[in-house]
Amino acid sequence: MKIILASDVDKLGQKGDVLTVADGYARNYLVPKGLAMAATKGTIRQADLMQKVRAERDQRLKEAAAARVAVLASEPVYISARAGEGGRLFGSVTASDVARGIYDQLDQEIDRRDIRLEDPIRALGSFQVEVRLHEEVNALVTVEVIEHEEE
C-alpha cells in the first residue's frame, strides 16, 4: 500500500515521505495512529509541500549551526577539576561537564549527547572536543582542564 507519512517514524522515514508498506502495517498501525495517510493525487501534492518546507527548515538550521561554529571556536572553555600528582584527575571531566562549561562561559546551549568524547578526560591539559551542531555541521571546542584552586 502506498502511504504518505504525516510525521517522522523511526526506521521508516520522515514527514512527507511517500512510501510503499505492507497493507496490514498501514491499515492497522500507521493510519489509525495518525502517523500516515493513504496516497492519493491530492495527498501527494501535499507531501511535496511538506518536503519543501522540511528542506527550507533544514537549510535554516544548518546555517544557524554554521554561525555557532565561530562562537564555539572563538575561545577555550576552562574546566576546573581536582588533581593529584602528575596531573591525574580525581574523577574525570565528562560530556555533561563540558556542556555546562560551554553554557557558563560561552552562553551557548549544547546538549551533552551532542558532545563527542571518546573517553572522559582524566588529566590536566588542553583537549580538542568535537561538538555536533547539525547532521552536517560539527565544531571543535578547546577544553582547558585546570587544577582546582582551594580557597
Boundaries of domain holding 34: 2-60
SS3 track for 59-103: HHHHHHHHHHHHHHHHCCEEEEECECHHHEEEEEECHHHHHHHHH
* In a shared domain, residues 6 and 53: yes
* In a shared domain, residues 93 and 139: yes
pLDDT of amino acid 132: 92
At 67-99, the pLDDT tens digits run 888 888 889 999 999 888 888 988 899 999 999
* In a shared domain, residues 81 and 129: yes
DSSP, collapsed to helix, strand or coil, labels residue 16 as coil
For the segment 31-60, the average pLDDT, to the nearest whole number, is 89
Is 65 part of a structural domain of the chain? Answer: no
* In a shared domain, residues 79 and 133: yes
pLDDT of amino acid 54: 85
* In a shared domain, residues 94 and 131: yes
For the segment 127-147, the average pLDDT, to the nearest whole number, is 91
Is 69 part of a structural domain of the chain? Answer: no
Domain boundary among 35, 60, 85: 60
pLDDT of amino acid 42: 86
Map grid coordinates 572522559 to a residue: 120
* In a shared domain, residues 84 and 143: yes
* In a shared domain, residues 48 and 83: no
CATH number at residue 20: 3.40.5.10
pLDDT of amino acid 46: 83
The percent of residues above 70 in pLDDT, for the chain, comes to 99
Cell of 123: 588529566
Measured at the alpha carbon of residue 64, what is the angle toward residues 58 and 66, in degrees to the nearest 5? 100
Is 106 part of a structural domain of the chain? Answer: yes
**Total number of domains constituting the chain:** 2
pLDDT at 150 over 90: no
For the segment 95-121, the average pLDDT, to the nearest whole number, is 92
Is 66 part of a structural domain of the chain? Answer: no
- The model's confidence at residue 59, banded by pLDDT at 50, 70 and 90, is very high
